[in-house]
Chain A
C-alpha cells in the first residue's frame, strides 16, 4: 500500500477508531469500579438511557423549548444588529464613539443580570430570549461594524453612481459584501445564544435541556445516566447549530481570501 493511500485510509478510520476506544475505555473504567457509579455512570447505561429518552416527549419538548428560545433570540439579534451596526459603521465618529460602550457592555457577563431579569420578567421564554439577545447582540454588532467598514469604498461609490440606495443598497450591496463577517458574527452569536439558553434553564429555572440536566442531577446518582444523556443532547445541539454556521460560513466565504488559504493549507497539510 502506498503512503498516500495509507494516509487517506487512516484519516478516514482514525476518528471512528478513537471514538470507539474512548467509549470502551469509559465502559472499562466505570464497570470495573475504578470510578464509582455514584460519580460517573457506565457508558452502556448512559447510551441506553439516551436511547430511551429519545422516544419520550420530555426530551423533544425540552429540545424544542431550548431551540425556540435560541431561534427567537438569534432573529432579534441579527435584525437589530444589522440595523444598528450598519448605521454606526457609516460614520467614523459614531463607530469610534460607540466602540468603548460596546466593549464595556460586552464585557459584562449576561449572567450578572440574570437574577434581575428573573425578578422583573420571571422564569419564562421572554427571560430566556432577553438574556440571549443581551449576550449575542454585542459580539454580532462588532462583526457587522467591522464587516461594513472593511468594504471596498469603490464598491460603495459604484453603487452610489448607479443610483442604488436605501433598502436596496442595504440588501444588494452591503449585506453580500460584508457577508463573511456577518456569518462569522452569527456563528459567535449562536454559540453565545446556546450557552445563555442553557444557563437560563439551569440557573434561571426555565424549562429546556439545561433544566433536565439539573433535575437529573438533583435526583441522585441513579439518574446520572439521564444527566449525561441530556449533556450529550446539549452537545449535539451545539454540533448542529455551530456546525450549521460553519457550513454556511464556508459556503458564503468560498470566494473570500481567508477561505482560499484554508483550502490551500488543507490540501498541503491534511
Chain B
C-alpha cells in the first residue's frame, strides 16, 4: 500500500505532463496564436505551404469557426418550431437570456459566482505553488506529506461540500474555501513534479554562478517548471469552476448555480436554459483567457518547442 502511494505520487504529477501535451494539443487548433505547436507540429501538416501569411491566418480562423457556426444554425432551425417543454426554440432562449440577465439584472448572480471563483482560485493556486515548492525543497517533508497530498488529490472534491457547510455554515466564505481547497492539489502536484524535473545541469550551473537560493528558485527552478505549473493551474481552474457551481446549488442564495436550480424548482425551463447558456459562455471565456495569458507568459517555451519540432 505504502509502496503504491509513495511511488504513485510523482507519477501523479508526471503524467499530467500528458495532460500538458493535451492542453497544448487542444488549444492549438482553436487558432488563438500562430503557435499551433502540438497538433500542427506533428507529421500531418503538409511540408510546404505557399499561401501568404494573411491568407493562412484567415484559413485558420475559418477552419476554427465554421463547425460551431453550422451547429448553432442547425440548432436554431431544428428547434424553431419545437413545442417540447424541455427544448424551447433557440431564438426564444436567447431573447429570454437577454431579458433575464441584462434587463432584469440576473447578472449580479454571475458577479457573485465570479468573485467567489476568483478569490478561491487565486488563493488555492498560490497555496499550490508555495507548498509544491516547499515539498520540492525538503525531501523529508515530501515523503511525509505524500499520503495526504495523494489522498486529497484523488478525493472527489464535491464530496466535501456537505462538510464545508458543517464547518463554515452558509455564505461565501464556505464557497471560497471549498473552491480554494479543490484548486490546491492539481497545481501543487504539477508544481512539485515540474520542479523535480528541472535539469540537474541547470542547477549545477546556477550553483557555479553563485546565484543564491532565492535567485536560483525564481530564475531557474520556477521558470523551468512554469509550463507544468501552468498545466496544473489549468486543471485547477476546471475543478474550481465545477466547485463554484456545485457550491451554489446547495445551501446558497446567489450565483449562477443557484439561479439554475431555482429555475428548475419552478419548472421555468426557458429560464434554466438561460443559466446554462451563461455558464457555457463563462466557462469558455475563462478557459480562453487562461490560454491567452498562458501563451503570453510562456511565449519563450512555445517558441522553443515550435523550433524543436520543425
Chain A residues near B (Cβ < 8 Å): 10-12, 14-19, 22, 39-40, 92-93, 95-104, 106-109, 111-116, 118-120, 139, 142-143, 145-146, 149-150, 152-153, 180-181, 184-185, 187-188, 191, 194-195, 197-199, 202-203, 209-210, 213-214, 216-217, 221, 224, 227-228, 230-231, 234-235, 237-239, 241-243, 246-247, 249-250, 258, 261-262, 265-266, 268-270
Contact = CB atoms under 8 A, between A and B. Distances in A.
| Chain A CB within 10 A, most for which of B4, B147, B152 | B147
A197 B156 CA distance: 9
Contacts of A187: 15
B154 A239 contact: yes
A222 B149 CA distance: 29
Contact of A203 (B15, B42, B250, B279): B250
Contacts of A11: 6, 143
B279 A102 contact: no
Interface of B: 2, 4-8, 10-12, 14-15, 17-19, 21-22, 25-31, 38-39, 42-45, 63-68, 71, 86, 140, 143-148, 150-152, 154-163, 165-167, 196-197, 200, 241-242, 245-246, 249-250, 257, 260-261, 263-264, 267, 269, 272-273, 275-276, 279-280, 283-284, 286-287
Given A115-B261, A116-B276, A239-B151, A10 B159 contact: no
A101 B74 CA distance: 14
A108 B196 contact: no
Contacts of A96: 29, 39, 63-64
A12 B156 contact: no
A120 to B, nearest CB: 5
Contacts of A95: 29, 39
Contact of A231 (B4, B19, B140, B159): B159
Given A111-B242, A258-B18, A246 B12 contact: yes
12 contacts: A15-B144, A18-B147, A114-B249, A116-B86, A119-B264, A181-B18, A199-B158, A214-B250, A217-B166, A239-B154, A247-B4, A258-B17
Given A10-B140, A18-B147, A269-B196, A115 B162 contact: no
A88 B282 CA distance: 27
A234 B155 contact: yes
Given A104-B284, A111-B257, A210-B159, A99 B246 contact: no
B2 A16 contact: yes
Contacts of A109: 241-242, 245, 279, 283
A99 B30 contact: yes
Nearest to A213: B162
A95 B246 CA distance: 32
Contacts of A14: 140, 143-144
Given A15-B146, A111-B242, A198-B159, 11 more contacts: A22-B148, A92-B44, A92-B45, A99-B26, A108-B284, A116-B86, A188-B22, A198-B158, A238-B156, A258-B15, A262-B11
